[in-house]
Amino acid sequence: MNGSTRPKIPRRLLDGVLLLDKPLGLSSNDALIRAKKIYLAKKAGHTGTLDPLATGLLPLCFGEATKFSQDLLEADKTYEATMRLGVRTTTGDAEGEALQTRDVTCDEAAIHAAMAHFRGEIAQVPPMYSALKRDGKPLYEYARAGQTVEREARNVTIHALDLIACALPDVTFRVTCSKGTYVRTLAEDMGERLGCGAHLVALRRTGVGALTLEHAVTLDTLAEAAPAERDSWLQPVDALLSTFPAVHLDADATRRFCQGQRLKLSDILDAPATADRVRVYSRDDRRLLGVARADEGVLAPERLVVSAA
């Protein structure tokens, strides 16, 4: 054995959710790798990508929390964004080259009127510079090769769209939207509605489902903190499930649930009258047992927490 070989640093079995404030210029995967290294965690994953151009909330899952990351992929997102009117770019954001420049003749009233047009359910054509695949290849690969492929419009929902600041040609707005929404496409479409075109110059995600930036931490802060302080930034696994109704099981039901057995809702004291999915706890010690579907009078285990079994 080579005497200079460094011993492997042991990795930690860590369960929880880190609300990371991702910096500008770093990919979601790079941010995940850095956080995983800081925590010496064995298992970690993120809950959906945030472009390098974007900053803000990136929930990272460790250990058992990775089982529930899909639930945040489905969640609504909230962003604060700034678009620059008058210039369209190849990518729809500031990383692309200018395609067209037009005069900006609209005023704040016109911007309010344009935003009203985009609230609710809208059809949106995904951008060429995206990770969506066609024939097994991401669209951005076609775009980089100078090719444009046909894309079908997809329905997305804009739950809220509000003007924050107007300092023409820059317009800053807040949007809460359903999964699959491209904010830079929204900016481009609003620019076209205003007759001058637009591209995105800044994007900050402030909310994912019920999670917000309020309790988020930066990579720099984590790197400088003592181990105990770092661990204090971790949210419990069920932070990902706060929008699900809670069900609490007695000792016998807890044992059967952890064995994957289906339970009668009529036997559970706090079973909801109607609910698609619920988070399930042990009544005795408040442990999270997992997630289940409550349907047709039955509580059916969907995903279990290993440490609860």
Which residues are identified as catalytic?
Answer: 51
Tokens of 223: 């790197």
C-alpha distances out from residue 72 to 28, 99, 107, 121, 168, Å: 15, 35, 37, 20, 35
State the virtual CA torsion across 283, 285, 286, 291 in degrees, nearest 10. Answer: -80
Contact (Cβ atoms closer than 8 angstroms) between residue 58 and residue 28: yes
Q: Residue 31 burial by CB count (10 A; 0-12/13-18/19+): exposed, middle or buried?
A: buried
Whether the CA torsion 207, 209, 210, 216 is positive or negative: it is: negative
Distance CA 51, CA 27 (A): 6
Distance CA 108, CA 305 (A): 51
